[in-house]
Amino acid sequence: MKLFEYEAKQILRSYGAATPRGVVVAQGEDPLTKIREAGLTGKLVVKAQVLVAGRGKAGGVKLANTPEEAAEIATEMLGSKIKGVTVRKVLIEEAVEHDREWFASITVDRAARDFVLLLSTEGGVDIEEVARENPEAIIKYHIPPERGLLPYKARELGKEVGLRGRALNSFASTLVAMYRAFIDHYADLVESNPFTVVNDRVVLLDARMIIDDSAIRLGLVKAEQDPAETGELSEWEVRARRLGLNFVELDGYVGIIGNGAGLTMATMDLVKHFGGEPANFLDIGGGASAEVMKKALNLLMEYPKAKSIFINIFGGITRCDEVAKGIVQALKEVGARKPVVIRLVGTNEEEGRAILEEAGIKAFTDPAEAAKEAVRLGGGE
């Protein structure tokens, strides 16, 4: 789960990191009242709380000379769209006079199976661009998870990016704070781009955090987010999320349901291979029950982009009889409003086929034949 900037900053502050003084204003609230209540004065920055990349360039970050001007900007920004995403909250912060900007991030390194810290003197710009064009401007340190990020290491790294004296110590404690927040929140990412130094103190001007969904699922981290508010998901993806389904909207016309991410993607690719266009990705996962299958099929029956539906199941931990029960129930409840092509093989295949046959439904065994049929019925070549 991606956190909003103000949420990430709240967490990082609780670990002792410094951020500019600020206040969050939601739609329906009066920005000027909130600014005055928070005691903010002078030049202010108004930042749209949206989870899109390149927010600044898209007009989501604006400077104001007075609280009144900031309130005006906030009023305009709230409810407007940044890269297609509605702004529901803004963060208004005191503008921090500064000359230099740095970048720091901590992520999981898949290949090395550890945590990796990236640090750069070129903050405030797209770090992937820096990585491409000026890779030596980025310092990389692999943090051994067994002992974590030690303060001495943070000081050594700070010296490498030009920090000295009290600012160096402030940097070290900020970096350790970021690392502790990263660990405690099972984060995939903690990032500040940029941070700066004011009066020998490191201040995080921006912050991002992504939390491992598995940790949230297990209750190890408490985090709630209304899927509709993130702006990252389409209307249909939000609907699917609320049903607990793993669904990604695409632009084609053949609806796809598969079990397992790899097979579901391969099913999309197969539809494309036979001249069709997949309308979505929908993975019912491992060991799906009849109930999950039913929900999945009902969703695609309503999903207007899908003109035909291709269900491709290769049972392993998922059992074909459960899947077949779900299909029969769904068709009984909502009816076959669209052509459905089923390919069903694997664990408990015979039981599954028997259930389908009893309901007068035919299932394919060959995925290529099934894919061609789904493309044809969807109106493709």
Partner 1 sequence: MAVLVDKGTRLLVQGITGREGSFHTKLMIEYGTKVVAGVTPGKGGMEVHGVPVYDTVAEAVREHPEINASIIFVPARFAPDAVYEALDNGLRTVVVITEHIPAHEELRFVRYGRSLGARIVGPNCPGVISPGKAKVGIMPANVFKEGSVGIVSRSGTLTYEIAAAITREGFGQSTAVGIGGDPVTGLDFIDMLEMFRDDPETEAVVLIGEIGGDAEERAAKYVKETRYPKPVVAYVAGRTAPPGKRMGHAGAIISMGTGYYADKVRALRAAGIGVAETPFEVAELLKNVIRK
- Tell me the pairing of strands 254-258 and 308-315: parallel
195 or 274: whose CB is closer to partner 1?
274
Q: Is 336 in the site for partner 1 (CB under 8 A)?
A: no
212 near 187, Cβ under 8 Å? yes
Interface residues for partner 1 in 49-108 (CB under 8 A)? 108
CB of 76 to partner 1, least distance (A): 28
74 or 323: whose CB is closer to partner 1?
323
CB of 243 to partner 1, least distance (A): 15
22 or 260: whose CB is closer to partner 1?
260
Interface residues for partner 1 in 245-274 (CB under 8 A)? 246, 248, 250, 258-266, 268-273
Q: Is 213 in the site for partner 1 (CB under 8 A)?
A: yes
CA distance 337 to 6: 45
Query: Tokens at residue 181, please?
Result: 């927040």
Q: Which residue has the tokens 């297990």?
A: 218
62 or 307: whose CB is closer to partner 1?
307
- The burial class, CB within 10 Å (0-12 / 13-18 / 19+), for 111 is exposed
Interface residues for partner 1 in 129-168 (CB under 8 A)? 131, 145-146
Q: Is 235 in the site for partner 1 (CB under 8 A)?
A: no
Q: Is 212 in the site for partner 1 (CB under 8 A)?
A: yes
| Closest of 10, 8, 203, 186 to residue 123, by C-alpha | 203
Interface residues for partner 1 in 350-379 (CB under 8 A)? 367-368
Q: Is 179 in the site for partner 1 (CB under 8 A)?
A: no
Residue of 20, 67, 158, 315 interacting with partner 1 (CB under 8 A): 315
Applying CB under 8 A, the site for partner 1 has a residue count of: 54
97 or 235: whose CB is closer to partner 1?
235
SS (H, E, C) 154-211: HHHHHHHCCCCHHHHHHHHHHHHHHHHHHHHCCEEEEEEEEEEEECCEEEECCCEEEE
262 or 360: whose CB is closer to partner 1?
262
109 or 156: whose CB is closer to partner 1?
109
CB of 332 to partner 1, least distance (A): 26
- Burial call 243-266: b when 16+ CB within 10 Å, e when fewer: eebbbbbbebbbbbbbbbeebbbb
x/- track of binding to partner 1 for residues 15-34 (CB under 8 A): --------------------
Q: 10 Å Cβ neighbour count for 216?
A: 17
Residue of 42, 244, 286, 379 interacting with partner 1 (CB under 8 A): 286
Q: Is 228 in the site for partner 1 (CB under 8 A)?
A: no
CA distance 237 to 360: 32
Amino acid sitting at position 258? G
What distances in angstroms separate CA 135 from CA 103, 174, 205, one per listed residue?
A: 13, 24, 23
Q: Is 196 in the site for partner 1 (CB under 8 A)?
A: no
**DSSP letters along 230-248, please?**
SSSS-HHHHHHHHTT-EEE
- Tell me the pairing of strands 340-346 and 308-315: parallel
CA distance 105 to 22: 23
Residues making contact with partner 1 (CB under 8 A): 108, 110-111, 113-114, 128, 131, 145-146, 183, 186, 188, 212-215, 217-218, 220, 246, 248, 250, 258-266, 268-273, 278, 281, 283, 285-287, 314-318, 345-347, 349, 367-368
